[in-house]
Each structure stands twice: as C-alpha cells, then as structure tokens.
Structure 1
Amino acid sequence: MNRNRTLMLKAGLNGLYMTGAHLWLAPATRGRGTVFTLHHVRPDSGDPFSPNRVLEITPEFLDRTIKRLRGAGIDLVSLDEAYRRITSDKPERRFAAFTLDDGYRDNLEYAAPVFQANDCPYAIFVVTSLPDGQLEMWWRGLEAVISNRDAIAVDMGERRYLECADVDQKYATYETVYWWLRSLDEESKLNAVRELCDRYGVDMSQLARDVRMTWPQVGTAAADPLCTIGAHTVTHAALARIDEKRMISEMRDGALIIEAALGSRPAYFAYPYGDGCSAGKREYAAAEALGFKMAFTTRPGVIRRSDCNRLMSLPRVSLNGDYQSLHYVDLFISGVPFALMNGLSRQAA
C-alpha cells in the first residue's frame, strides 16, 4: 500500500535480477514449491488513483505466469496434492499452487477461464459475508471516499483535514488513513470507516454487492473439478485483534456456512490479511483444533521441507498488481528474495 516502499522493493528486485544471482542461488533457496496469493483477476481499469491495484492482476498476466511456471518445469497442483507433497518424505518435483482470497465474481468471470484453458488447479478462499452481500470492504470504502473529493475530514483522535485534490495527494491521504486504521482493533476500525462512508455518501454494502460471487456462483465455481473452495472466516476480521471466543467463531462458522451451502466442509483455511499482526500462535492452534489440513498466512516465502511441521502457518507469495512482470515471477520462485529477507540459514532448514 506504500508506494515509496514498493518502488524501493522493485528497484532492489530489478537489481537482483540483473545480477543473475537468483539463477545460481536458487538450488539452495527455492524450496519444494510456491503457493501464490491472488485476489482480483480482471482487466486493468486504467484509473490513475487505484490504491488497491496491489490486489489485482490481469487475466493476461495470469495466463503468462501459468505458462512461465510450466516452462520452468514446475508442476501446477491442487491443494490436496500440495498437502501430499509438503507432508511427503520423498523427493518430489517442484510445485506451485494458486489461491485466490475472498471470493470475488471476477474469479469466476476472468480467472476460472484462464485456469481451465491451461488445465491448472486453483483454490478460492471464501469469506462468507461476501456472497451474502454484507462484507464491509473498508479498504474499498476508504478508496471511494477519497476518489472524488478534494479534501476529507477524519477523526484520528482529533479531527484532521487531509488534502486529496490531485493523484499524489489522494495516495498520500489513503496511506495515512489506511495505516492508522490498520493500527486499530477491529470494531474501532470499522466504526471509523462507517463514519467516513456515512459522512461522504459511500454505501459499503453496495461495494460488496458490486464485486461478490453470489452463493449460486460459488456453487458454480465449486463444481469445477479444478477448483477447491477454502474457508476465510465470516467477516474478514483480523483474527489476532479480536477476543478468542469470536476468533474461534469466525473460523468455525465460516467453514460451517460453506459446508451448508456446498455440502462439504472446507479442508483448508486462509487467515484474513495473514500478516504477523493479524494471525499468530493462538490462531494457528485454533486452525489445528478445528481440523483444517493446512492454513495459509501471507508471510512471504516458498514452501520448504521444514514446513511440514508448520502446516497451520504456511507462507504464500503475493502475485499482485505491483509486480506484473515475468522476471518478478522468476525471482519469486527462486526463493532468493525471501532468503535475503529471512536469512539464508533459516531457508536451508
């Protein structure tokens, strides 16, 4: 979400790619496979102010990525097969799995045809309030508030007036308010965005209805033999920021609602947001107690041999709108950027 940080990261990745270091380091860092995180797959809107573009890739880039992975000799697998390989003691070919979080209609309209054309398995983690049309997409609500205004007033402990007349100001205001909101507990965050949306005439429920898969559409996706439906809570709450009783309810009930709608209970789970501030040891223990076979974070990294001991906190690699170039895909599957981030010694585990 921070444009300056993204520019710095891309510059570092571009420099790494130009050195070719990922090619000779990859045998030590690439691990067993990669699980990709996606959200929206749809044509680029071309909107100059699009702070959530990070959550989108185009169908064309998805298609190129699938072909690139296959060209690199990587097996594209379902979560069931990923589970088998992660827990196997035998040497296996490298694999990749695609997961899409939340359950957006474009997953069915744009992503599924690409996966089907390439005979590529995929999984959709459904947050159940989205097909219900009730998900409070606060990040989209904030974007909508800022999009068509020259200034906004935000109560951040005290009332602040933030300029958003041009694109740069809009991004600066979005990032300021976004990260302030992320620092709050769940109810305070939602109350703050509700107040903003009410003040500026933004209907958050309509934002959800505009992009959701309905339950019949979720059923259509589930009927695709290539598709696995996973659980993603009821309300997309940052689980580590709510009390234990509600945390367990979010995880349990999300799976039960999907089971009631589709006839089978999801075996896999993805933590909303998925970073260290949103899911930790308490949530990992709950996922195991609830019987999930694997649960996924957004902690960046490839799947390593030792991850068979961390099935409730598996890493994923974000395939997102800021990195829609195949040389980034090459870097990601090499594991080198994550080795540099986390320490080569840990990657060798």
Structure 2
Amino acid sequence: MALKGAIIRAGLAGSDLIRAHAWARFARGRGVILTFHHVRPAPSEGFAPNRLLEITPDFLETVLETLDALGFEIVPLDAVPDRLAGPEPERPFAVLTFDDGYRDNRDFAAPILARRGAPWTLFVTRDFAEGRGRFWWRELEEAVRRAPRVRFAELDLPAGTDREKERAFEALYWRLRAGPEHALREATRRLAEAAGVDVAGAARDACLTFPELRDLARDPAVTLGAHTLSHPMLAKGDEATARREIVESRAALEAEIGAPVRHFAYPVGDPGSAGQREFALAREAGFVTAVTTRPGHLFAAHAARLHALPRVSVNGLYQSAGALRALLSGLPFLVWNKGRRVASG
C-alpha cells in the first residue's frame, strides 16, 4: 500500500505540475460527482487504515474553494440527467455525495455546506440508520489495533507496531474481500469479538438515526438517497438478494422520510460489487440515477448510462489543493480508463 500510495501521490502531483486543470478540458467532461464518507477532525497519528474514508472540515472548505476557483457550479444530483442530455454547459458542474449516513456529515459538513449554499446528497443504509448494521472494515481495523498478533486460518502475523498492524490489516482485508461476503462478515465478527470490540455498537454510534434523518431532510439543500438495506457488495450475492436490497431500501427510506427517493448508490461500488445486473435492477426499481465508485468524470454519453454513473473519491490520504486540482482536471481518469470517456462493463 505504501508503494501504491506513493505512485498515486506522484501522479497527482505531476498532473497538477503541468496544470492539467487549465488545459485538459477534453478530459474534464461536463461535470463530476464527488464521493465523501466521514468529515471530522483529523484522527491521531498512527495505525488508521481506513483514514482514506475521512477528510477534515478544513479540507472540505478547501474542496469548495477549489471548485469555485476552477469555475465549477455545485448542483444537486437531481440536475444531472438534464445536464448530461442538454447542450454543452458554459461551466462544468460538481455534485457532492456522502455515503452511509454518518452523523459527522451533519455535525461537521452540513454547517460548512450551508454557509456556502451548496446542495448535497446523503446516501442512507437502512440498517445503519436503525443502529444494527455491520461496519466490517471498522471491525477489522479495531481487531488489528487491539491484538499483538493476528491469527486467521494459516496466517499468523505480528501486530506489535503500527507498521506491522498496517501489513496485517492489508493482508487480511484483501484476502477477505476476495472471498464470499458471508465469509468476510463472519471472519471480521469473530476477529473483532475475540479482541473485545463492540461489534453491535458501531453503527449506533456512527450513523444518523431515522428521526435525525427526517430532520435533516427538511433542509431543501439536502437530498437523501438509498444505499441498500445492509450495505452488501451486491454483485457477490444472488439476484433475488440484490433486488431486495435495492428495492426495499428505497421503500424503507421513503416510508421514514415521507418523500420520494430518486437516487441510489451501490455499496463499495467497484466492478466486483456492482455490474450490469445491478445497473438493470436499479433502473427497474425506478431510480432516476445510480452511482458507482468507478472513477471518472461525466460526459454527454453518460446520459444513456444514468444507472452506472462514475464518481471521484475525495480520498483522505491526499488532502491537498494540488491533488484536488489534478482530480478535477479529469486527466488521471482518462489515463486510468485508457482514453475511454465512458468505461466499458
């Protein structure tokens, strides 16, 4: 991971050095959907493998300032279909989306966004809002944090120092991600409980409840979207389960907030978690848009792929204006997608 991070950091620095944001308009497209998770004060230094999922409130301010400086117009997710199907806009647009329904989004992000009049979308997982979801990635982090050694199957890994913990986490994370989801969840539960982690309390402490979400939904700048019932990697399960997770999550959220839910986000959202089957299910369920985490900007051709929209993750490991300018240029994603504006698959 350290080498991969260094390569990404060098690539972003190079894109910013050549001022790609100023001249690579062919790569920028019509706009971009940005992905956030946690927004809260920086964690203490040391072992924090999920740090990529959080940015500080100060950096959210930097994001908004940079969007403004580069001429982006912040629009609600509802505006995206028309922005893609209509004539070429004078200004690129940006959409701000926040996944999972974390309480810190309300406490730290919402006041900043309100001061700037910025609309935003919060994708809600039903089980998290009900305080009974499973944050398996956090369970794994806490299990490794508390253990001097990590033992799983044939693995017996030292975990005494932060560096050893990082290596142990990476080894376990990618091994478990490669297998069935039920096995992943069972393994992280067992590891966490053996380390004394309160598995049941994670969602209860981290996420907004439905009463809190109803209060938030009264703000006209806020759009609530569905993010499944239990946050599974949908493509790993059977079709009936995927359909239920998509369809019933919309119904549950609409029943709680008393308003239509038009947008959906695929959990994890990479090609191993959401593909053509899931895109078709989201369309059949009646969502206007559905967003992935496949990296990329938006082009006119995405008007025909509204249920497979790419997003750009604002990664907590790269909290600098230079890295952000590189991402907003679109050039890194055009390179990543081998020159294709619309990714295949």
User: Shared fold (TM-score greater than 0.5)?
Assistant: yes
Matched, 1:18 2:10: no
Measured against aligned partners, the alpha-carbon deviations of 1:43-96 in whole angstroms (never above 9, x if no partner) come to 001231110000000111101211211122111011112232123245452100
Partner residue, 2:106: 108
Q: CA shift at 1:21, angstroms?
A: 4.3
Q: CA shift at 1:347, angstroms?
A: 6.5
Partner residue, 1:66: 64
Secondary structure of the corresponding residue to residue 344 of structure 1: coil
Q: CA shift at 1:313, angstroms?
A: 0.3
| Alpha-carbon separation, structure 1, partners of 2:15 and 2:83 | 30
Partner residue, 1:162: 157
| Alpha-carbon separation, structure 2, partners of 1:262 and 1:182 | 33
Give the 5 Å matches for 1:178-257.
Answer: 178-257=173-252
Partner residue, 1:57: 55
Structure 1: runs of 5 or more not aligned: none
Matched, 1:278 2:284: no
| Alpha-carbon separation, structure 2, partners of 1:98 and 1:342 | 22
Letter in 2 for 1:203: D
Partner residue, 1:126: 124
Partner residue, 1:5: 4
Total equivalences in the alignment: 344
Indicate the larger mover: 41-50 or 276-285.
Answer: 41-50
| Alpha-carbon separation, structure 1, partners of 2:81 and 2:104 | 27
Whether contact under 8 Å (2:337, 2:343) holds in the other structure is no
Q: CA shift at 1:134, angstroms?
A: 0.8
Q: CA shift at 1:322, angstroms?
A: 1.0
Q: Percent identity?
A: 40
* 264, 269, 277: which one aligns with 2:264: 269
How does the TM-score come out when normalised to structure 1? 0.95
* 167, 175, 182: which one aligns with 1:172: 167
Whether contact under 8 Å (1:85, 1:92) holds in the other structure is no
Whether contact under 8 Å (1:28, 1:348) holds in the other structure is no
Indicate the larger mover: 10-19 or 224-233.
Answer: 10-19
Partner residue, 1:76: 74
Q: CA shift at 1:216, angstroms?
A: 1.2
| Alpha-carbon separation, structure 1, partners of 2:291 and 2:100 | 13
Whether contact under 8 Å (2:20, 2:329) holds in the other structure is no
Measured against aligned partners, the alpha-carbon deviations of 1:173-215 in whole angstroms (never above 9, x if no partner) come to 0000000111111111111111112222212111211211111
Secondary structure of the corresponding residue to residue 292 of structure 1: coil
Secondary structure of the corresponding residue to residue 113 of structure 2: helix
* 137, 140, 144: which one aligns with 2:138: 140
| Alpha-carbon separation, structure 1, partners of 2:53 and 2:343 | 30
The two structures, once aligned, show a CA RMSD in angstroms of 1.6
Q: CA shift at 1:125, angstroms?
A: 0.3
Q: 1:284 to 1:13 in 2, by over 3 A?
A: same
Indicate the larger mover: 12-21 or 27-36.
Answer: 12-21
Letter in 2 for 1:17: D
Secondary structure of the corresponding residue to residue 129 of structure 2: coil
Secondary structure of the corresponding residue to residue 270 of structure 2: coil
